[in-house]
Amino acid sequence: MMDTPSEPRLPHMPFTLDEAQSLGVTRDRLRGSNFAGSGYGLYRPAAWEFTLSEAARALCAATPGAWISHTTAAQLHGLILPPWLQHETELHVSKPRKLPETRRKGITGHTLLAFDDEVEAVDGLRISTRARTWLDMARILPLPNLVCMSDQLIRIPRTVFEGRGEPYTTTVSLGSMMARHKNLQGIVRAREALGLMRVGSDSGPETLLRLAMLDAGLPEPGLQLSLWPTPNAPSADLGYRRRRIAIQYDGRTHDDPFQAKSDRRRDDAFRKAGWTVLVFNSEDLAEGYDGAVRRIKAALRHAWTDPSVVAGFATGS
């Protein structure tokens, strides 16, 4: 819509009725074909293309005292979600019991108890913290997907790549938060995830591979195994140091020619040091890692009968 010079200029994103009226825009004009209602007190330009952050910000403005939560918060925080939730456009908003119930098309409202340190303001948007979002998602996500998110929250970041040196949270902090909400829906699954999360997983597929190994009765693997105790040494995503088995998950980023060359050097270094190297990819993930588990089991059986590995056990290497 092209406003005339005498007409107010509305935002080119969702806006509240109060924002429109403060600009002198009448309800009649908002009912025109240039705008669409998104629920009581919330409007958007008819030609507006959905942007999650803008929609969430407008929803918060239209619902004082509430905060963005659940799947919407997970998407905005960049948390690991299963494919069927990664692009969900339903907006999730939570509020304390004292506020009226949220009823708008395309919006799922939740009535929750949240402590002050479980909700934060990010660029003017009230949103549940990553840790509280994880707890809320415990009632929605299957256990393996919840553990993927768990591992993402507690992993030690690489400062040079991520601009932060501390994890988003810790298992101790998550346990303390859970103790506040003993009757929350999903708390049992959250407790299960707390027992399965591990520091060291760099991606969801790595976590799912570890869980598949545990489900198959395999020994728990180590994570981020460095070949040598020196900085920048080649490392394995998972593996068994004493049995000299290195396990790698190479995702899409590993298709880059430069990265692929680096991966070959990494794997060659392990092989030259006498390790068995197993590399898995998205095809293995798609089949639930059934074939991967069989290959790992075979490598473990071989390790038990390999004289060089047995000798290594004797020397403690």
The pLDDT value given to residue 53: 86
Binning pLDDT at 50, 70 and 90, where does residue 8 land? low
pLDDT at 229 over 70: yes
Give the model's pLDDT for residue 66.
Answer: 94
The answer to whether residues 174 and 140 belong to one domain is yes
231 and 311 part of one domain: yes
Q: Looking at residue 54, what is its pLDDT?
A: 83
Residue of 105 and 11 predicted with greater confidence: 105
* Residue 293: inside a domain: yes
CA-to-CA distance for 232 and 55, rounded, in angstroms? 43
- What confidence score (pLDDT) does residue 98 get? 84
Whether 61 is in a domain gets the answer no
Please say if the pLDDT value at position 84 is more than 90.
Answer: yes
Q: Do residues 215 and 299 both lie within one domain?
A: yes
Same domain, residue pair 267 and 309: yes
Mean pLDDT of all residues in the chain? 86
Identify whether residues 189 and 231 lie together within a single domain.
no
What average pLDDT does the segment 209-228 reach?
97
Q: What pLDDT sits at residue 61?
A: 82
What residue type is assigned to position 212 of the chain? A
Predicted pLDDT of residue 60: 86
User: Residue 150 falls within a domain, yes or no?
Assistant: yes
Domain final residue, candidates 196, 226, 247: 196
Contact 34, 46 (CB under 8 A): yes
Residue 52 binned pLDDT confidence (cut-offs 50, 70, 90): confident
Residue 60 forms part of a structural domain: no
| Number of domain units in the chain | 3
Please compute the mean of the pLDDT values over residues 56-75 and round it to a whole number.
Answer: 91
Q: How many CB atoms sit inside 10 A of residue 177's CB?
A: 20
Same-domain check for residues 113 and 215: no
Per-residue pLDDT, 105: 73
Residue pair 235/250 in contact by the 8 Å Cβ criterion = no
* 208 and 188 in a common domain: no
pLDDT > 70: what percent of the chain? 79
Does residue 192 sit in the same domain as residue 228?
A: no
Task: Confirm whether 7 is domain-assigned.
Answer: yes
pLDDT > 70? residue 225 = yes
Q: Is residue 252 part of a domain?
A: yes
| pLDDT over threshold 60, residue 26 | yes
Residue 161 pLDDT level (bands cut at 50, 70, 90):
confident
Last residue of a domain, one of 168, 196, 224: 196
pLDDT tier at 67 (50, 70, 90 boundaries)?
very high
Distance of alpha carbon 16 from alpha carbon 44, whole angstroms: 8
Over 31-77, what HEC string results? CCCCEEECCCCEEEECCCCCCHHHHHHHHHHHCCCCEECHHHHHHHH
- Clarify whether residues 185 and 209 are in a common domain: no
- Please report whether residue 59 resides in a domain: no
Q: What is the pLDDT of residues 269-288, one digit of tens each?
A: 999 999 999 999 999 999 99
Same domain membership, residue 294 and residue 173: no
pLDDT reported for residue 312: 46
The closest of 233, 216, 212, 235 to 225, measured between CA atoms, is 235
Mean pLDDT, range 226-250, rounded to an integer: 95
CATH code for position 310: 3.40.960.10
One domain, residues 73 and 183: yes
Residue 236: is its pLDDT beyond 50? yes
Q: Is the pLDDT of residue 144 over 70?
A: yes
Whether residue 55 lies inside any domain: the answer is no
The domain in which residue 41 lies consists of 1-49
In this structure, the answer to whether residues 181 and 209 fall within a common structural domain is no
pLDDT at 174 over 80: yes
Boundary-marking domain end, from 161, 180, 196: 196
